[in-house]
Amino acid sequence: MENWDNLRVFLSVARNDSIRKAAIALGITHATVSRRITVLEEHLGNPLFERTQQGQCLTPLGQRLLPLAEAMEGDVAEINRLAFSADTGLSGPVKLSLSESLYLGLLHKPIDDFMKRFPMIKLDIIASDLISNLAQREADVVIRITRNPPDSAYGRKMADSPLALYASQKYLANRPVPDQWVAMDYEPARKPVLSAHVIAHVSSPTLAARLIKSGHGVGLLPCYLGDTDPGLKRVLEVDLIPDMQIWVLTHQDVRANPRVRVLMDHLYQAFQACRPIIEGVKK
Please write the tens of the pLDDT for every residue from 70-119.
888 888 877 877 777 777 778 899 999 998 889 988 999 999 999 999 99
d(CA 26, CA 270): 33
Contacts of residue 257, defined as CB under 8 A and 6 or more positions apart, other chains included, come to 84, 85, 87, 94, 140
Q: How confident is the model at residue 210 (pLDDT cuts 50, 70, 90)?
A: very high
Q: Quick one: what percent of the chain has pLDDT higher than 70?
A: 95
At residue 31, the 3 state secondary structure works out as helix
Residue 94, classified by CB atoms within 10 Å of its CB into exposed (0-12), middle (13-18) or buried (19+), is buried
Q: How confident is the model at residue 134 (pLDDT cuts 50, 70, 90)?
A: low
Domain 2-86, CATH among 3.30.950.10, 3.40.50.2300, 1.10.10.10, 3.10.180.10: 1.10.10.10
Q: How confident is the model at residue 133 (pLDDT cuts 50, 70, 90)?
A: low
In this prediction, residue 3 carries a pLDDT of 77
Q: What average pLDDT does the segment 205-210 reach?
A: 94
In this prediction, residue 135 carries a pLDDT of 60
Q: Residue 134 gets which letter from DSSP?
A: T
Bigger pLDDT: 136 or 249? 249
Q: C-alpha distances in angstroms, 281 versus 135, 164, 244, 275? A: 36, 11, 16, 9
CATH code for the structural domain at 91-283: 3.40.190.290
Please write the tens of the pLDDT for every residue from 139-152.
899 998 888 887 77
Number of residues assigned to the chain: 283
Q: What average pLDDT does the segment 185-202 reach?
A: 95
Element (H or E) spanning 197, and its range? Answer: strand 196-202
Q: Domain spans of the chain?
A: 2-86, 91-283
Please write the tens of the pLDDT for every residue from 15-67.
998 999 988 888 889 999 999 999 999 999 999 999 888 888 999 999 999 99
d(CA 165, CA 136): 38
d(CA 65, CA 48): 9
Q: C-alpha distances in angstroms, 208 versus 66, 144, 157, 177, 278? A: 41, 19, 26, 20, 18
pTM recorded for the entire structure: 0.73
In this prediction, residue 282 carries a pLDDT of 63
d(CA 129, CA 184): 14
